[in-house]
Amino acid sequence: GQNIDQPTEMTATEGAIVQINCTYQTSGFNGLFWYQQHAGEAPTFLSYNVLDGLEEKGRFSSFLSRSKGYSYLLLKELQMKDSASYLCAVRDLYNFNKFYFGSGTKLNVKP
Amino acid sequence: GAVVSQHPSRVICKSGTSVKIECRSLDFQATTMFWYRQFPKQSLMLMATSNEGSKATYEQGVEKDKFLINHASLTLSTLTVTSAHPEDSSFYICSARPGPSSGNTIYFGEGSWLTVV
C-alpha cells in the first residue's frame, strides 16, 4: 500500500519562508515530486528528488531523505500568488508514469 | 511544449445518464495516460491507467464497469462515467508523459468538473 502524509493547511506571511513536510511509506520508490495546484486547476510540476539531498530551483527547494521516508518543499520570499495547494507525490517503482499523491497542503499567504 | 488537453472542462448531467470526458495529447504520442479523481479539498486519487490498444488497468476499489476507459489512439483517451450518480460529482484529471527524452515531467490536462444532478 501507499501512505503519503502532509499537513492539511499552513499559513505564512508574504516575504517569509515556509517549509512543507511530506512523509511517505510506500511499497516502492522511484522519486518524489512536488506539484502546485491552484483551486479548480490541474497540478503543475515544481520539483523532483530521487537521491538524498537538496534540489534548488529559484525560490523553491526540495529535500529528500530516503532512509527516513521524508521530504520537504521550501518556499522562499513568499508571494501572494503562492497561495495554493502543494501536493507531494511518489513515483511507482515499476511504472515511471504512475504516481501516488498525498492529500495536499493548502498554503495561505497573508500580507 | 507538450500539452495535454481535456474536454469538456465542465459538464452537468442528470442522474442515470452517461458522460464522456476526453483527454488528448496535443503534440506528442502517449501510449499510456492516467486518470485521476479529486474530491473537494482532497488530493488526486489515481483511478486507472489507460493503455493504447489494450484494456485499462484499474486501481483497487474503482469500478471498471462504471468508469469505462478507451484509449483508441496514441493521442486520445476517453473516460465514460456510466449511470452517473450525484456521488460521482468530482474533478477528473488526466495525465500523460511524452517519453523518456522529456525527463521527469508529466503533464496534466486542465481537468473536468462533473456535476451530477
**Tens digits of residue pLDDT in A25-55:** 988 888 999 999 888 788 888 999 999 999 9
Say if CB A80 and CB A109 are below 8 A apart.
Answer: yes
Run of H or E residues at A11: strand A9-13
Whether the per-residue pLDDT at A2 is higher than 80: the answer is no
Which residue in the set B49, B91, B110 is minimally distant from A98, CB to CB? B49
Which residue in the set B44, B45, B106 is minimally distant from A97, CB to CB? B106
A45 touches chain B (CB under 8 A): yes
Grid cell in block for residue A37 = 495546484
pLDDT of residue B94: 94
**Tens digits of residue pLDDT in B61-86:** 999 999 999 998 889 999 999 999 99
How far are the Cα atoms of A57, B53, B71, B90 from residue B43, in angstroms, in the given order?
Answer: 24, 29, 25, 12
Distance, in angstroms, between A20 CA and closest chain B CA?
Answer: 15
Whether the per-residue pLDDT at A3 is higher than 80: the answer is yes
Grid cell in block for residue B79 = 473516460
Mean pLDDT, residues B40-59: 87
pLDDT of residue B102: 62
pLDDT of residue B100: 63
Q: What's the number of CA atoms in the CB half-sphere (13 Å) around residue B22? A: 11
What is the C-alpha end-to-end distance of chain B, expressed in Å?
37
- Chain B residue numbers touching A99 (CB-CB < 8 A): 34, 46, 95, 106
**Chain B: residues touching A (Cβ < 8 Å):** 32, 34, 36, 41-46, 49, 91, 93, 95-97, 100, 104-106, 108-111, 113
* Count of CB atoms situated within 10 Å of the CB of A44: 13
Mean pLDDT, chain A, integer: 92
Answer yes or no: do A87 and B93 touch at CB < 8 A.
Answer: no
Whether the per-residue pLDDT at B1 is higher than 70: the answer is no
Mean pLDDT, residues A61-84: 96
Whether the per-residue pLDDT at B105 is higher than 80: the answer is no
Whether the per-residue pLDDT at B101 is higher than 90: the answer is no
Answer yes or no: do A97 and B42 touch at CB < 8 A.
Answer: no
Mean pLDDT, residues A86-96: 86
Answer yes or no: do B106 and A45 touch at CB < 8 A.
Answer: yes
Nearest Cα residue to B32 out of B4, B64, B12: B4
DSSP helix/strand/coil, A24: strand
**Tens digits of residue pLDDT in B9-49:** 999 999 999 999 999 999 888 888 999 998 877 778 889 99
